Amino acid sequence: MDYICHILVLITIYMVLGVSLNLVAGYAGFLSLAHAAFYGIGAYLAALMAIHLHAPFLVSLFCVAGVTGIFGGFLALPALRVRGDYFVITTFAFQVIVVSVLANWTSVTGGAMGLAGIPPARIFDWTLRTNADYLIVAASLAFALWWLVRTIVRSPFGRVLKSIREDDALVALTGKDVRFYKVLVFVIGSSVASVAGVLYVHYITFIDPSNFTVMESIFILSIVILGGAGNLWGPLL
């Protein structure tokens, strides 16, 4: 039973990653190879906050989502000046840069040796010690974030995103600020991905850069492609 809970925790973490990339790639149409970078940024920020600041899990969750969203916005600003294959290459470059920083900034990230001794998550007076405890929290967050993305894509904002995916020039002619929508969807997508990083790091209690390479980004993208880009249930399943 403990092993089954372990597998289910990992599934819920990848559910969050799949849903967040589906918002960016499936609904807005931006094929990104940088999603594992946001996943890693979230994980390392949560680890550093837990080790050095002893930050509570919920505080860490919101702070990490906010900071990672800023990173997503910074990537979007230059990246959205290009399209198609050039956009993919730009996100790929960002992914490689982030992994290089994590691997070489040894005084902060621990370099290739990673960070160990990360304390388990604590929510008020409840310390998550068993796989079942983590499954409850991870599943709750995964479905809450899925509901958030569902609300977004069914809103007027989501309809604009789907229109941008089909023809962004035509959307601009209607008076919509296409650049604003593009940047905002990246901010939201990266913030949601960082939540998976927070869950992962408190669950495993150890991280190193090998967990967040470009192959991880490709795996996350595969979840979206196999499930069906632009489909709410596909990546989830």
Rounded Cα gap, residues 1 and 7, in angstroms: 10
Residue-wise pLDDT for 184-222, tens only, equals: 999 999 999 999 999 999 998 899 998 899 999 999 999
pTM score > 0.85 for this model? yes
The β-bridge partners of 126 are 123
Residue-wise pLDDT for 47-64, tens only, equals: 999 998 888 899 999 999
The token duo for 113 is 């040796």
Are 61 and 195 in contact, with CB atoms under 8 Å apart?
A: yes
DSSP for residue 212: G
* Cα separation values, 213 from 148, 202, 206, Å: 27, 19, 16
Are 135 and 9 in contact, with CB atoms under 8 Å apart?
A: yes
